[in-house]
A and B are shown apart, each in its own frame.
Chain A
């Protein structure tokens, strides 16, 4: 298979379909870009309301153009009509939100359903106008990219390139609007205008996308890629790029598959493609995906567990032997078990883990013996832990924000100087600082301890 034939295959064989596939991919990229801001502004469903609100505009535009003697199917005219009522709908949502006790969801729902109902009613009326063919108006609802002709595609491409350019030009303004609109307002930025600008961009994408994926599914193009992209990064610019790429891939994949299986609705396939990518992102996305987060937490838990085990063994040796330097003697499991409140299953698991990491040596008779490496590590962990505890006591006012569950981090966070100070203090207190468990026991046994408030 030559490279040329592979490319041809990917571009779905024919010139016509290639155009459609490319156009749909471009639509996906733009929708991903604009949709990112919509998502960050937490107004994803406003796009839904917008897309439904375009329907009356399409019907009216068709009627007007027919009345003027033009071809009712002229795309620019229909798109203008769609934009007008779409934007009207959005402004109405904002107005309802600002002037009544109704909240976002109700305002959007009202505009969405009423405009759509009106649109259906108008479409029905215009469909029966004698002399005009309204067939294909319903393709705006489901999408039918295959019916696109070259001039349509050119219009779409121009609109989309303009939208992308606009997005990039006012990138920082949109970021500020989405992050902190109050601050933006105090800085003199016209937040309502910016909101309307964003909505205008969404309108452009929506209206242009009506042809490809249809009214009901364009919203998926606007919501799914950005949401998927979020799982891969914590950086806004990266998120924008990724969102555009995911949108493009969904568009390409959907249009391509649709050309192979022409009896299936194209818009639906595109949406499902995007949905699959979203699912994969949500589960596996390295930055915020469900699985990586879970694994990271497991890792931390394991690390802390390991430290607890080694430290407990060391502390028991201290209790038994009393004096420093300690000898690395075996520790009976029973002692270990009562030293900390581990459940029945936890301790054997930790022991197995420590053995795998070569911190333990197997000992006959069920005792635990630290390896040389393990012993050294236990000593270090115990010292670090004591330093943390000392820090918490002596610097009680500032400590809580600094203390790290990972005992190893003490020099990293407190700095070498502080650690030296604490070590000196620790030595003064005779090496061994009472562990919290011992302190609790002491208090309980003290006859004059004050009553608990």
Chain B
């Protein structure tokens, strides 16, 4: 590992390449996220953002490269990391309640064969209260709205009391109230010194939400504090021709006088 990847970094990625058969999805990724940042990963569709997250979490095999959490491989640092996957990754028709799902975050500490007890259920309830849906604890998950489902996933992550949070598109297709609640939650985590890494889809909110920005399009286009990274030149490099579409929208908005 090169010397500049310090053991203080919550996440350090070196030389990561992920390829399906002969097609590369991630190419020579070199990345370091500073401690305590609220970082966003943005890029065009198919840029490999989700793949990057999954590769860091050992969920998919990599062709080459290394990922370090505070200097050690992920497998040794699981207790420090919480994962919030995309909502589509599970079948919400599954016969469990919101409480059951959040309690799954306590299984690791519980260990093999032991049953879920009062302590775990209380922890789960507290987490659900923290995300604002304590009253839905016993609701079957298929009866929850999209935003509520997202909050269940977040509560599950909270209950693990981790140090680093990996989130895959937490703001996708949620209502405005939930979006507000989520960002407040993330900011609260941030204040407490936790590191949060979000794959994000909406360029309009990037500068408001994140203090660290990663622009990804199969390779790292830019990575750094949002103020320095979120500029026209980098966006052009990451999004290519599609950037013009965004300009037209901004122009149209200006004309309506909003």
Contacts and interface: CB of A to CB of B under 8 A. Distances in A.
B3 interface: no
Interface in A173-231: 173, 175-176, 178-180, 182-183, 185-189, 230
Contacts of A178: 94
Contacts of B112: 170, 173
A233 interface: yes
B100 A170 contact: no
B96 A179 contact: yes
Most buried by A among B81, B95, B145: B95
A401 B179 CA distance: 12
B104 A188 contact: no
Nearest to B179: A397
Contacts of A175: 96, 100, 104
Nearest to B90: A180
Contact of A236 (B58, B59, B96): B96
B95 A400 contact: no
Interface in B114-167: 115-116, 140, 142, 145, 147, 156
A169 B115 CA distance: 8
Interface in B87-111: 89-91, 94-97, 100-101, 104, 107-108, 110
A234 B140 contact: yes
A235 interface: yes
Interface in A229-264: 230, 233-236, 239
Given A182-B85, A401-B175, A172 B107 contact: yes
A159 to B, nearest CB: 20
Nearest to B82: A186
A199 B142 CA distance: 28
A381 B186 CA distance: 41
B113 interface: yes
B72 interface: no
A392 interface: no
Nearest to B78: A188
Given A179-B90, A180-B90, A398 B107 contact: no
Give the size range of A's interface with the partner.
20 to 34
Contacts of B116: 172
A176 B110 CA distance: 13
B176 interface: yes
Contacts of A398: 175-177
The prevalent SS among residues of B at the interface is mixed
Most buried by A among B54, B89, B104, B145: B104
Contact of A401 (B85, B95, B104, B145): B145
A159 B244 CA distance: 67
A84 B145 CA distance: 46
A391 to B, nearest CB: 13
A235 B140 CA distance: 8
A183 B177 contact: no
A182 B89 contact: yes
A179 B175 CA distance: 25
A80 interface: no
Contacts of B57: 185-186
B101 A185 contact: no
A64 interface: no
Contacts of A183: 83, 85, 104, 156
Contact of B142 (A182, A234, A236, A397): A234
A236 B147 contact: no
B95 A233 contact: yes
Interface string B209-223: 000000000000000
Contacts of A110: none
B234 interface: no
Interface string A145-176: 00000000000000000000000011111011
Contact of A40 (B59, B75, B94): B94
B58 A179 contact: no
B95 A234 contact: yes
B207 interface: no
Interface string A18-49: 00000000000000000000001010000000
B9 interface: no
A239 B95 contact: yes
A38 B100 CA distance: 19
A233 B75 CA distance: 38
Nearest to B85: A182
Given A230-B95, A401-B175, A236 B83 contact: no
A178 B89 CA distance: 12
Contact of A179 (B104, B147, B178): B104
A401 B147 contact: yes
Interface string B15-57: 0000000000000000000000000000000000000001001
A244 to B, nearest CB: 15
A206 B107 CA distance: 30
A235 B95 contact: yes
B175 A169 contact: no
B177 A397 contact: yes
A169 B114 CA distance: 8
A251 B54 CA distance: 45
B178 A187 contact: no
Given A183-B104, A400-B175, A401-B178, A236 B95 contact: yes
A180 B81 CA distance: 17
A268 B96 CA distance: 34
A186 B78 contact: yes
23 contacts: A40-B95, A170-B113, A172-B116, A175-B104, A176-B107, A180-B104, A182-B54, A183-B104, A183-B156, A185-B58, A185-B59, A186-B83, A187-B107, A188-B78, A233-B95, A235-B95, A235-B140, A236-B100, A239-B95, A397-B176, A397-B177, A398-B177, A401-B177
Interface of B: 54, 57-59, 75, 78, 81, 83, 85, 89-91, 94-97, 100-101, 104, 107-108, 110, 112-113, 115-116, 140, 142, 145, 147, 156, 175-178
Given A42-B91, A187-B78, A236-B95, 10 more contacts: A172-B110, A172-B116, A179-B96, A180-B89, A182-B85, A185-B59, A186-B59, A234-B142, A235-B96, A236-B96
| In the A-B complex, the 9 residue pairs with the closest CB atoms | A397-B176, A398-B177, A401-B175, A234-B140, A186-B83, A187-B108, A236-B95, A188-B78, A180-B90
